[in-house]
A and B are shown apart, each in its own frame.
Chain A
Amino acid sequence: MTPARVLVLAYGNPGRRDDGLGPACAAAIERWQVPGVTVSSDYQLTVEDAAAAAQYDVVLFVDAACAGPEPWALRALGRATDAAAARRTGGVSFSSHSAAPEDVLALAALLFHADPAGYVLAVRGYEFDEFGEGLSPAAGRNLAAALAALEPMLRNRTLGADAAPAGGPVAAAAGSGTDR
C-alpha cells in the first residue's frame, strides 16, 4: 500500500515571539527529511493553500495556540468533504484575510474535488503581543514535546488518511495534549 502523501502547513509570525511556533515546527520537520512529507511555512493560511492541500492525502496544520491544552493538542478535522459540509453552516469572517484550517480543507473539496484528511497540531504558546524573535522558554519546551510525539507519527504514518473520522478521536498515541 502506498504511504499517504502528507502536507504539513505550518503558519505564524516568527517576529511575534510564540506566534512563531508553527514556522519553528516546520523547520524541525523539514530537517527530518521524511519521505512523502512536504513542508510549507507561511504567515497565515489563505485560500490558495486549498490548491496545495488538494494534492495530498493528509494535511497537518500546525499553529500556535494562545489557550488550550499544554504542551500541545492534536485534533482530527476529518475529511475535506466532511469539512465542506460542516462549513456550509459555519461562521463568517469579520475582516480576516486568512483562512481557517477547516476552510482550507473545505475549499480543497469544493473547488478541487479532493478529499484529504486534516489534522490540527496546536502547540501552546504564551507570549504574542510584542515584536521579538525567539520562542519563550515555556513555548520552546512545548514545541520539543510536540516534535517528540510528532516524529514517529509522520515516520510511521500514524496520521493516516483513513484514521481521521470527522469529530472522531485523534490518531495520536500520546495521551497528554490530545484534544477532541
Chain B
Amino acid sequence: MVASTTNGLKRVVIEPVTRVEGHGKVTLLLDEQNKVHQARLHIVEFRGFERFIQGRPFWEVPVLVQRLCGICPVSHHLAAAKAMDRIVGGENLTPTAEKMRRLMHYGQFFQSHALHFFHLVSPDLLFGFDADVAIRNVIGVAAKYPDLAVQGVMMRKYGQEVILRTAGKKIHGTGAIPGGVNKNLSIAERDFLLKDAEQMLTWSRGALKIAKDYTVAKLDELKDFGSFESNHLSLIGPGGEMDLYHGGLRAITATGEKIFDHVDYQRYLDYIAEEVRPWSYMKFPFIKSLGPEKGWYRVGPLARLNTADRIDTPEAEAARREFMAVTQGKPNNISMAYHWARMIELLHSMEKIHALLHDRDLQGTDLVVRGPRREETVGLIEAPRGTLFHHYVVNKDDQIVRANLIVSTTNNNEPMNRAVQKVAQDHLSGKQLTEGLLNRIEVAIRAYDPCLSCATHALGQMPLEVELVAADGTLLDRRTRG
C-alpha cells in the first residue's frame, strides 16, 4: 500500500492481509536519512461488538462473546462468565464449578500454545529466520520433522478434547454459566482424558526443551532481536504465584520494581487507561500513574513469567527458575523469550490438567451459587496471549447496556510496535525491503502471538504486500508474500 507523506517522512507499508484473519499492516516511517523513525503496526480490531451485544440478556453473554474470536473463544467465554458471576452474586464458585472452569481454561492454554508453537513458530526455530519461505512453514516442518508435527497436531487435538468435555461443545461451548457451570466431568470423560495425559506431559517437556535450548544457544543473537525494556502486567495469585484463571493485578517495571500489586480488578479503571492514536483503530493501554509515554506494558507468557514469584506445579517451577536465571532473576525483556515462556506455560497447563483429572471435586454435583445482584461488573482472565478485560453494565431488565473489552492483543499493542521498530532499525538499510527484513518483522510480531482473528475471514483476501514509497510518493520497492 502506498502511504502518504507526512512531515518529510517516508513510509514503508507492509500489509499482511492474511486470508483468514483480516487486515494488518506495518508502516515504517523513515526520516530524510532513510533511518526508521517510527513503526506502526495496524491491526483492524473487531468493530461493532458493543452494538451487537447491547440489549442482550446478560446470561447469553458468555456464549455470545465466543463469536469474537476463533482462536480464543474459551478465554472470552470464561472472562464473560466471571463478569456475570458478579451480576448474580455468584462469584464465590463451588469447588466443582471453579475446577471445571480451570480445567477448561488449561485445556485452552494447552491447545493454543501448542498450535502457536508448532504451526507458526517451529518453522522459524527449526529452519532459521532466513530460510526460504517455501519451506519455513508448517508443511515444511511436517515434511522434515514429521514426528514433531504429529505431536503438535495431537496436542492441539487433546486440548480441544478437554474443552469439549468441560464446555459441552467444541465450539460455542456453554459450560460456564453465571454463578457456576452446567455440567461436571463424568468418570467416563475423566478416564478418556487421562488415557493420553502422560503422553501429553512427555510431549510438553519435549516442546519446552526445544524452546529453551534454542533460546539459550542463540542468546547472544536473540537478546537484542526486537527487544526493549518495558513494564509487565498480569494477574497474580494471593501468594504471588502464577494464576492463569483468577487473582489480583500486578504490574512491575522493566527492572522488577512493583508498580502496583494484588489490585482488585473491579477497580482496573483506577489503574489502567487507554490512549487513542489517530492512525490506529486499536487503542494503546497504559498504567495511569506512569502516563502513556512510560506506562505501556507487556502481557502474555513473558510478562507472566516476569511477574510471578513462583509457579505452583513442580516441573514448570523448575523451568521458571532456569528461565529467570538467564537474566539473574530480573525481568526478562527479550522478545524472543516469549517462546520459552510460552512452553513453560504449556507444561504448567498440562501439569494442572493432569492434577485436576485426579480431583474428585470434578464429579461433584453442586454446580451453581447465587447471591446479591449487581449491575456493573468486570471479569478478568489471563488468556493465552495475555490479560483479557471484560467490563459490562446490566440494567434492571437484565439487558446489557454497556460493554468494554480490552483484549490481550490490544494490551500488547505498543510492545508489538516497539518490537517492529527495533527490528526495522537494526535491519532496514537503504531504500529496499529485503526478504531478510520481512522475515524478521514477521518473526518479531509472531513472538507476541497476536490474535488477528477477531477480524473476519473469508476466501479471496490479499496476501502480504510490501511497498516502499519515497517522500515524493515514488514507489521505490514493492514485495508481496503469501
Interface residue A32 (Cβ < 8 Å from any Cβ of B): no
Least CB distance, B73 to chain A, in whole angstroms: 7
Instruction: Assess A12 versus B458: contact at CB under 8 Å? Given A88-B143, A96-B18, A130-B48.
Output: yes
B157 close to A (CB within 8 Å) = yes
Asked if B171 contacts A98 (CB within 8 A), the reply is no
CA distance A166 to B49 in the complex (A): 41
Contact flag A91-B119 (CB < 8 Å), given A68-B460, A130-B48, A131-B52: no
B62 in contact (CB, < 8 A): no
Report how far A125 CA is from B459 CA in the complex, Å.
10
A67 interface neighbour in B116, B160, B460, B482, Cβ under 8 Å: B460
In the assembly, what is the distance between CA of A2 and CA of B451, in Å? Answer: 43
Is B48 in contact with A47, judged by CB distance below 8 angstroms? no
Q: Is A66 close to B, CB under 8 A?
A: yes
**A43-B73, A103-B138 known; A95-B154 Cβ under 8 A:** no
B16 to chain A, nearest CB (A): 4
Contact between A15 and B70, CB atoms less than 8 A apart: no
Count A-B contacts at CB 8 Å: 182
Q: Which residues of A contact B160 (CB under 8 A)?
A: 48
Nearest chain A residue, comparing its CB with the CB of B123: A92
Residues of chain B within 8 A of A31, CB atoms compared? none
Q: Could you say which of A66, A96, A99 contacts B460, with CB atoms under 8 Å apart? A: A66
Chain A nearest CB from B80 CB (Å) reads 14
Q: Given that A43-B73, A110-B149, A111-B146 are contacting pairs, would A95 and B445 also be in contact in the complex, using a CB cutoff of 8 Å? A: yes
Question: Cβ of A131: which chain B residues have Cβ within 8 Å of it?
Answer: 46-49, 51-52, 67
The reply on B197 being an interface residue by CB < 8 A is no
Q: In the complex, A15 Cα to B52 Cα: how many Å?
A: 9
How many Å lie between the Cα of A95 and that of B226 in the bound state? 16
B21 interface residue, CB < 8 Å from A? yes
Nearest-CB residue, chain B, relative to A97: B71
Chain A's nearest CB lies how many Å from the CB of B20?
4
Q: Decide: A92 near B133, CB < 8 A? Known: A66-B461, A97-B119.
A: yes
Q: Is the CB of A98 within 8 A of B457?
A: yes
CB-based contact A48/B157 at 8 Å: yes
Residues on B with beta carbons closer than 8 Å to the beta carbon of A44: 20, 70-71, 453, 457
Do the beta carbons of B459 and A63 come within 8 Å of each other? yes
Bound form: Cα–Cα A8–B160 in Å: 19
Tell me how many residues of A have a C-beta within 8 Å of chain B: 50
* Across-interface contacts of A111 in B (CB, < 8 A): 142, 146, 149-150, 153
What's the least CB distance linking B340 to chain A, in Å? 19
In the assembled complex, the Cα of A103 lies from the Cα of B270 at a distance in Å of: 46
- The verdict on B137 contacting chain A, using a C-beta distance below 8 Å, is yes
Q: List CB contacts (< 8 Å) of A84-136 with chain B.
A: 84, 87-100, 103, 106-107, 110-111, 120, 122, 125, 128-132
Partner of A41, one of B18, B51, B171: B171
**When A47-B119, A67-B460, A91-B481 are in contact, do A98 and B20 touch as well, CB less than 8 Å?**
yes
Q: Nearest chain-A residue to B450 (Cβ)?
A: A95
Asked if B73 and A93 sit within 8 Å, CB to CB, the answer is: no
Other-chain contact of B459, A41, A64, A87 (Cβ < 8 Å): A64
- Select from chain B the residue with minimum beta-carbon distance to A130: B48
Most buried by B among A12, A13, A89, A95: A95
The answer to the question of B120 belonging to the interface, with a C-beta cut-off of 8 Å to chain A, is yes
B47 touches A47 (CB 8 A): no
**20 residue pairs from A and B, CB less than 8 Å apart:** A44-B71, A51-B157, A65-B459, A84-B143, A90-B139, A92-B481, A92-B482, A93-B119, A95-B24, A97-B70, A97-B71, A97-B116, A97-B119, A98-B20, A107-B142, A107-B149, A111-B146, A130-B52, A131-B67, A132-B48
User: Which residues on B are within 8 Å of A, measured CB to CB?
Assistant: 16, 18-21, 24, 46-49, 51-52, 64, 67-71, 73, 115-116, 118-120, 123, 133-140, 142-143, 146, 149-150, 152-154, 156-157, 160, 170-171, 442, 445-446, 449-453, 456-461, 463-464, 481-482
Binding site for B on A (CB under 8 A): 12-16, 18-19, 41-44, 46-48, 50-51, 63-68, 84, 87-100, 103, 106-107, 110-111, 120, 122, 125, 128-132
